[in-house]
Each structure stands twice: as structure tokens, then as C-alpha cells.
Amino acid sequence: MEGDVPGQVSGVPGQVSADVLIVGAGPTGLYAAYYAAFRGLSVAVVDSLEQPGGQVTAMYPEKLIYDVAGFPAVRGRDLVAGLVAQADRFDPVYLLGHEAQRLEFAGGTPRVTTSRGTRVDCGAVIVTGGIGPFAPRRLAGGEEYEGRGLAYFVPRLSDYDGKDVIVVGGGDSAFDWAENLHGLARSVTLVHRRDRFRAHAATVRRVRESGVRVLTHAEIERLAGTGWVEEAHVRHVRDGAVSTLRTQGVIAALGFLADLGPLESWGLRLDGRKIAVDTMMATNLPRVYAAGDITGYPGKVPLISVGFGEAATAVNNAAIALDPAAGLFPGHSTDASVPVSRSA
């Protein structure tokens, strides 16, 4: 930005100045932060969560992820740790626990104000906010046991060691938890209201072959217990019969509710619930780009690996917006000297 030293972030209380502001500290945002700094740009990252990692950290830190290039399998928390370490070599400024609320333009460049009143003046914005703010779908009839045996996410698999666990749902998360907990928990039962599943077919097959009990056409009618959940009453949809399952842990993987939050007031052109972008990952707003699951375009594939590529595309095109003399392609990383850490 004009008047700033290239590659450095300046800030005073309540005010930050950076070349690029990344909105969202999930995997795509963390990679964008690294790649922007690799291009010599100063970076600030804002996220409404208190820790980096986005949905991975909040929802499935223990889950194995299979679609990241170079990793046959990588645990969610390990992927986030690696991405943070990669970005931290350039000391980005993190504004965690801040929601990006208001966007305005000052002299043609973006200015974002956060929910805590911090103003970020930047040369470009890259929105990598995943699905936006999200909250789990609640298990009807189980509200009073939230935090007392009923959970919607699994931060630590070890919490279920030796327990009788019920997993509710038919999507990828439900089957992933059932697979990961089998052999650790004393027993695992998966309950789903239909006999068709949204989960990956290979995962469904592995779970069925593992010996996990799978109850279909069934719903949790209510939970019961003194202080902590001790049993689940399961209604079998076809005949209306109700059976009782012993349990000390219920994981409701019923999906989540999400919206774009304050981003909807920015004037971004939307494609359904996604931000519409072109091949440069540019939005309809000047110097505002987007990457990752929050974007929509024909042929979009919502994978973490795709988000990484979109982040690099967004950064390289933002670099030209900041400096028209800059090249679109900065060269291969093997041709550059990348510091181990800025303080080293």
C-alpha cells in the first residue's frame, strides 16, 4: 500500500494496515496467508473463531482427511498445525475472535471494520470464509443433555474411550466418527432415519464391515439419564416400536446451519449461497477476491485441495491489482529463498 514498507504490517490500537486482508482462517485462508507473504505482501487474517483452522478445528480436529495432495491421510488438527507453521514463517497478523463486518472503500482501496471495532486498511481482500458462520443442527429431544453426554463435534476421540456411543446421522461426519471410534469405544451404534446415506460409499462399506451396529429407519425420540446421559429411546419408523439403548455418549452429526453473515451486506454478487467469482477469483467488487468453499462458479468442486489452488490464483491476481508492474506468476518456490522464520 502507498506509504507502507512492502511486506510489513503496520498497526496502532484499533487499526491495522496490510497489503492483503484474508477473511477466514480455515485451511484455504491459512494457505492464502502464506502464499501472499511468499509474494512479498504483508498480510492480516481475520476470523470470528478464537483459533485458526475454521471448520476443521471447530468441528473435526480428530478426523482423518484423505483428499489433500501429498498426504495418504492427515488428521485435521495436524493439517491446521502445518498450515499455521507454514504461514507463521512470515508473521501474519491474526485478528481472531473478530468478525469482518463492514466493507467500505477509501481512495479506491478496501477498508474493513471488525466486530470489535478494529479497522483494517488494505490493498485487497480475499474472502476464504468457508461456508460462513455456522451452528450445528440440534437433536430434538436432547437439548437438556448438551454438554452432559450429547455433543455435536468431537474435539478428542479419547473422550469416548470405553463408552457405549451412539452416532446420529447419515452423512460423512457421522460415518467418519463411527469409523474412528470403533475399537476405541466399547460399542458404537449409528442411527439414521433412512436407509440411504450421504456419506462416501467406501466409508459406508468400511463401517458396515467393521461390525458397527447400523440402525436405519430409526430416530432418537428422547435421551434420559440422571445428570449425564445414560440411555437413548429409539423409535423405529416403520412399526412405531421404541427400543432403549444404553449409552454414555451421543454424537449428533446432523449437519449445520450456515449463512454469510455480514458479508451479505457488502454488495457481493451471489450464486445461491456462494460468492460468485470469475477465473481470476475476482468478485464483482474492486480488489475483493474469494477462494474456497464460499465461492460458486460452474464446475465448482468443494475440496480443500481445490481451495488451495483458488487461494494462489486469488493472491497472484490481487498482487497485480496492488502493483500492475508485478508479474502474474512469481516463479516457483524452489527458485526463492523462503525464511524459516522472520525472527530467525
Query: Looking at residue 338, what is its pLDDT?
Result: 54
Distance of CA 57 to the CA centre of its chain: 7
pLDDT for 5: 35
Instruction: Supply φ then ψ for residue 37, to 5 degrees.
Output: -65, -35
DSSP element (H, E) containing 59:
helix 54-59
Q: Which domains does the chain have, with CATH numbers?
A: 10-133+259-335 (3.50.50.60), 137-254 (3.50.50.60)
Report residue 277 as a C-alpha cell.
467469482
What number of other Cβ atoms are within 10 A of residue 69's Cβ?
9
**What are φ and ψ of residue 94, in 5° steps?**
-100, 130
**Which string of b and e fits 21-39 if b means at least 16 CB within 10 Å?**
bbbbbbbbbbbbbbbbbbb
Q: Are 287 and 125 in contact (CB under 8 A)?
A: yes
Q: What is the pLDDT of residue 336?
A: 58
Per-state percent for the chain, helix, strand, coil, to nearest 5: 25, 30, 45
Tell me, rounded to whole angstroms, the distance of Cα 64 from its chain centroid: 14
**Residue 239, CA distances (Å) to 166, 169, 234, 256 in order:** 21, 20, 12, 29
- Cell numbers 514498507 correspond to 5
pLDDT attached to residue 337 = 53
Phi, psi of 50 (to 5 degrees): -85, -10
Mean pLDDT in runs of 10 for the chain (344 residues)? 41 81 96 96 93 84 87 93 95 92 93 94 92 74 91 89 97 91 96 93 94 96 95 94 97 80 90 92 97 94 94 97 86 59 40
Task: Give the Cα separation of 292 and 310 in Å (integer).
Answer: 7
pLDDT at 134: 63
- Residue 131's pLDDT is what? 56
Residue 185: strand pairing partners: 182
d(CA 207, CA 165): 14
Cell of 292: 474456497
- Model pLDDT, residue 339: 53
Q: DSSP string of 211-257? A: T-EEE-SEEEEEEE-SSS--EEEEEETTT--EEEEE-SEEEE---EE
Looking at residue 137, what is its pLDDT? Answer: 85
185: left (phi over 0), alpha (psi -120 to 50) or beta: beta
Cα separation, 173 vs 279, whole angstroms:
31
Between helices 172-181 and 201-210, what is the axis angle to 10°?
30
266: cell is 457488502
If you write DSSP's letter for every residue of 68-84 in order, what string do you get?
Answer: STT-SSEEHHHHHHHHH
